[in-house]
Structure 1
Amino acid sequence: MWLSHLERSAPLFALYRDNIPSFINVLLHEVKVLTGKDLIVSLRFDLYELPEPMPDKWAYRNVNAVQVIIDLVQAEIEKFNLGTYNYNSANIMVNQTEDRKMLIVTDDLGEDILVLKTSWLYLNSIGGYTRF
């Protein structure tokens, strides 16, 4: 499971409990690359699966989307093939290879659009909002 590769995952467990969503069929909003001593790649995406039960303040605000930001620290970009396509049904897979984690983002046709290797994969943030 992808969650075993994610550091600082406690907020996901607190929100979703035993029904942790997959990273299949997500809406990919942003890929950000930060240069410096360690290359950091951040992915911002929406999960289509909402938590049950919904937190009270989210239900009050009619939240219908959960946005996640994950950071890959000491990242290596192996493939970066994002075009003008709207990635509203991207799939994110995380695997362990020898001493690194590999994150692969595919489009709805199964084509690799982003392939990254990283030493660390962190949950940066998770929040609910009302989409449209």
Structure 2
Amino acid sequence: MCFLPYYTPSGVAVTNFSVATSRSWTGQDGQRQEKTVWFRVAAWRRLAETCNQYLTKGQRVLVTGELEEPTTWTDREGNTRASLEVTAQTVRFLNTRAENEALAGGWGQTGGQGAAVGGGSGGDAMAGGEEDIPF
């Protein structure tokens, strides 16, 4: 388990993790530039439990969901900072089995190629049940 889900007082599972999106380009001066934006992701219910069970640090995922209003604050140096959060509806695991084994240090932890799980706001996380996950 990479992430520890917690449970609301009513027993609903919640897991939070971060996802980075990067883009790169060549500036007018010919220098390569890169920008990375981090998103906090909140997964609920069965999706939270599935992410907790299968998601590992460094794994590539595709998250779809609802983008929440940014949270802003002032850091110790007086700079205004913002945090973007997505409430996940689906999380798609994109790594191949070999990539996941490399992330796990060769211990044989596997993940699905293109396996999608959903259910961020209700219902079952996976339509066919966990036995249908190809990993």
TM-score by length of 2: 0.36
Bigger relative contact order, structure 1 or 2 (CA pairs below 8 A, ≥6 apart):
1
TM-score by length of 1: 0.37
Task: Work out which of the two has the higher radius of gyration on C-alpha atoms and give 1 or 2.
Answer: 2
